A and B are shown apart, each in its own frame.
Chain A
Amino acid sequence: MKQNQTKQIVTLGITLSLYCIIAALALSVTYSVTLPQIQLQQKKATEESMKSIYPDAISFTLCTDNEQNPIFHNQVIDNCITLDCIYEGRDQTNLLLGYLVKGSSLGYGGPIVFIYGLDLDDTIHSVSIIEHSETPGLGANVIKDHFLNQFKGKLTSDAFLVKQDITPITASTITSKALSEGIKKSVTYVRENITELTNENEN
């Protein structure tokens, strides 16, 4: 009786493990086949948004420190504002056009991931939203041009205050505030810490 039970448990265990092994095999095969494509897609998404900011640029390189680590990676500036990384945008003649700053700011529905161009003369080139989960019809209008175009050509020393120099999205003050504060605070941080880098490039 007891032996029978043990035998049954073992059989069941082996059966279940077999199913799991086969499932795991199928998954790992699919994963290895799709992985390069997935990475390509993710890179393409970021690159496309960078290209939309500096259409003339042909190369985007990640800014790294001496030990080849990306600078400002996951740098928390504020409770809800985080820097992700910075790219240099260069054109055919290898001339530095500006920096691309990627970061995120907490909106109404979750983090708003944005990227913007920072020209060498301390103006914002243009802003583009990579990812957001704001309310459709309200905060989701954050991707609309008539809102984002306000940031074009703004000086880094400007106030970036909603209802003063930024007209908010109708009935979505929180989203508008999140983005403009995210840009202001990240750009201030970058300006304070990037001077050495600019010199390095000029030398």
Chain B
Amino acid sequence: MKTKIKQLLTKGLLKENPVFVLMLGLCSVLAVSVSVINALGMTLAFTFVTVLSEVTISVLRKWIPKSLRIPIFIVIIASFVTILQFLLQAYFPSLNKALGIFIPLIVVNCIIIGRIESFASKKPVFDSILDGLGISLGYGIAILSIAIVREILGNGTILGYSLFGTSFEPALMFILPPGAFLVIGIEIGIINHVSKKASRKEASK
């Protein structure tokens, strides 16, 4: 049981990382990783929607007719996203402004619908919670690792605190769209390199 919990929670980190390995949901990752605070906000929003949708669908999985499953998934995800947006507008207006269009776009984030289709609609509730948390963790780590690099190099700050003093001139490109592609490309390259090395080692054993 314990190993199963651990396995569900950690598989999103590297082995099935939704961003770096499965390459899903890249649009929001590229656009929101401008600053660490935005990335954190997006991760929380994503976790909220993923976990709640997975739980709801796991509970209802016996009452969802097979031919209607996609529309019902979308209705459920969209409702949670809209609820989230109301809550953000009411209680976190600055975060809502920063994330802007990317909150409504969580609806069409293929990571969520992918997890629901392949996992939550077939598995019990507890497993689905863990799966949702694990996949959100992987998403969060990916978007944060990009955002940290971009904010440090592109703005000279981390979480808004200046790192290098006023004489440092940040390379603006990193907070512009090309910087997002550059950083994600390099990070995917490093991860592939490391995992290839690891699997080669395993094979030689």
A contact set with B: CB distance below 8 Å:
11-12, 15-16, 19-20, 23, 26-27, 30-31, 34, 37-38, 41-42, 45, 131, 135-138
- A123 to B72 Cα, complex, angstroms: 59
| Chain B residues, CB < 8 A from A20 | 75
Q: How far is the CB of B153 from chain A (nearest CB, A)?
A: 12
Known: A23-B79, A136-B176. A34 touches B93 (CB 8 A): no
- A15 to B75 Cα, complex, angstroms: 12
- A169 to B21 Cα, complex, angstroms: 41
Inter-subunit contact B90/A34 (CB<8 Å): yes
- A19 to B56 Cα, complex, angstroms: 12
| Given A15-B65, A16-B68, A27-B83, 9 further pairs, Cβ under 8 A | A12-B68, A16-B72, A19-B76, A23-B75, A23-B79, A30-B87, A34-B89, A45-B93, A137-B155
Q: How far is the CB of B128 from chain A (nearest CB, A)?
A: 18
B contact set with A: CB distance below 8 Å:
34, 63, 65, 67-68, 71-72, 75-76, 78-79, 82-83, 86-87, 89-91, 93, 97, 154-155, 170, 172, 175-176
| Chain B residues, CB < 8 A from A27 | 79, 82-83
Among A20, A136, A138, the most chain B Cβ lie within 10 Å of the Cβ of A136
| Chain A residues, CB < 8 A from B89 | 34, 38, 41
Please pick, from B72, B93, B175, the residue contacting A137 in the complex, using a CB distance under 8 A: B175
- A42 to B93 Cα, complex, angstroms: 8
Can you sample 11 A-B contacts with CB below 8 Å? Answer: A11-B65, A15-B68, A20-B75, A23-B79, A34-B86, A34-B89, A41-B89, A45-B93, A136-B155, A136-B175, A137-B155
- A15 to B67 Cα, complex, angstroms: 11
| Chain B residues, CB < 8 A from A12 | 65, 67-68
Q: Chain A contact residues: over half helix, strand or loop, or mixed?
A: helix
| Chain A residues, CB < 8 A from B75 | 19-20, 23
- A137 to B170 Cα, complex, angstroms: 9
Inter-subunit contact A19/B72 (CB<8 Å): yes
- A27 to B84 Cα, complex, angstroms: 10
Q: Which residue of A lies closest to B67 (CB)?
A: A12
Q: How far is the CB of A174 from chain B (nearest CB, A)?
A: 16
Known: A27-B79, A135-B176. A16 touches B71 (CB 8 A): yes
Inter-subunit contact B83/A26 (CB<8 Å): yes
Q: How far is the CB of A32 from chain B (nearest CB, A)?
A: 10
Inter-subunit contact B72/A136 (CB<8 Å): no
- A12 to B69 Cα, complex, angstroms: 11
Inter-subunit contact B87/A34 (CB<8 Å): yes
| Chain A residues, CB < 8 A from B72 | 16, 19
- A4 to B83 Cα, complex, angstroms: 38
| Chain B residues, CB < 8 A from A31 | 86
- A31 to B87 Cα, complex, angstroms: 9
- A27 to B97 Cα, complex, angstroms: 21
| Chain B residues, CB < 8 A from A15 | 63, 65, 68
| Chain A residues, CB < 8 A from B91 | 37
| Chain B residues, CB < 8 A from A37 | 90-91
Q: How far is the CB of A150 from chain B (nearest CB, A)?
A: 21
Known: A15-B68, A16-B68. A26 touches B86 (CB 8 A): no
Closest 10 CB pairs of A and B: A37-B90, A34-B90, A137-B172, A23-B79, A34-B86, A41-B93, A30-B83, A38-B89, A38-B90, A136-B175
Q: How far is the CB of B133 from chain A (nearest CB, A)?
A: 22
Inter-subunit contact B71/A41 (CB<8 Å): no
| Chain A residues, CB < 8 A from B154 | 136-137
| Chain B residues, CB < 8 A from A26 | 79, 83
- A24 to B8 Cα, complex, angstroms: 32
